[in-house]
Amino acid sequence: MNEATLIINSTSRFESEELTDKGNSVGYNIIDFWRWGMSNLLNNTDRGALAEFIVATAIGLGNRPIDGWQEFDLTADGGRIKIEVKSASYIQAWKQSSFSTIRFSIKKTRRLCPDTNTYSGEPQRHSDLYVFCLLKHKDKETINPLELDQWEFYVVKTIVLDENYKGQASISLRGLQKLTEAIPYNKLKSEILKFNN
């Protein structure tokens, strides 16, 4: 068996799928796992996955599982637009004495080859554009990452980042606002699809 045959493609799971032991249900299903592992949407990891999902829903891909092997997060326009999604929030899951300073990673990376599980090439930004997702809400009592009006989005072509932040690994909110304006969720799809215009 060669290494390429070991790559497992993502498939959609269904809420009724159960955990089994020797073919018998143990009383839990995949929804229980999702509640257990993904309910803290203010946790950086879960919020990042949610931000990717939010962008996916905006471009009509909310029913497809993510592909963790790509060097970018999503594609739009029939695969012609490669998208990197980044998220940040003023409020975190941990105890805070003040709001977080907003910075987004724009670090260049090397290409991962899933067939060999090795990295190759020079570090670069592999997407056509970035979508920066800011959970802007600042009230801990009412914050809810599922309410899309609590977010704002910044869409920036990668070439603009390369021209203005060539060697930098992150960008501040102020720096981002010099490049583009915030948009709401309902404008996200049209802004992303502008890339090919």
What's the pLDDT score for residue 12? 76
Report whether 44 contacts 38 (CB < 8 A): no
SS3 154: strand
Spatial separation of the C-alpha atoms in residues 133 and 42, rounded to whole Å: 13
What's the pLDDT score for residue 69? 62
Kind and range of the H or E element at 114?
none
What six digits make up the tokens of 160?
């603009």
Task: Provide the residue-wise pLDDT of the chain in tens; the chain has 197 residues.
Answer: 444 455 556 677 788 889 899 999 999 898 888 888 888 888 888 999 999 999 999 999 877 766 666 778 898 988 899 999 999 999 998 889 999 999 999 998 877 766 667 777 788 898 999 999 999 999 999 999 999 999 999 999 999 999 999 989 999 999 999 999 999 999 999 999 998 76
Any idea which residue has 């981002």 for tokens? 176
What are residue 119's DSSP bridge partners?
112
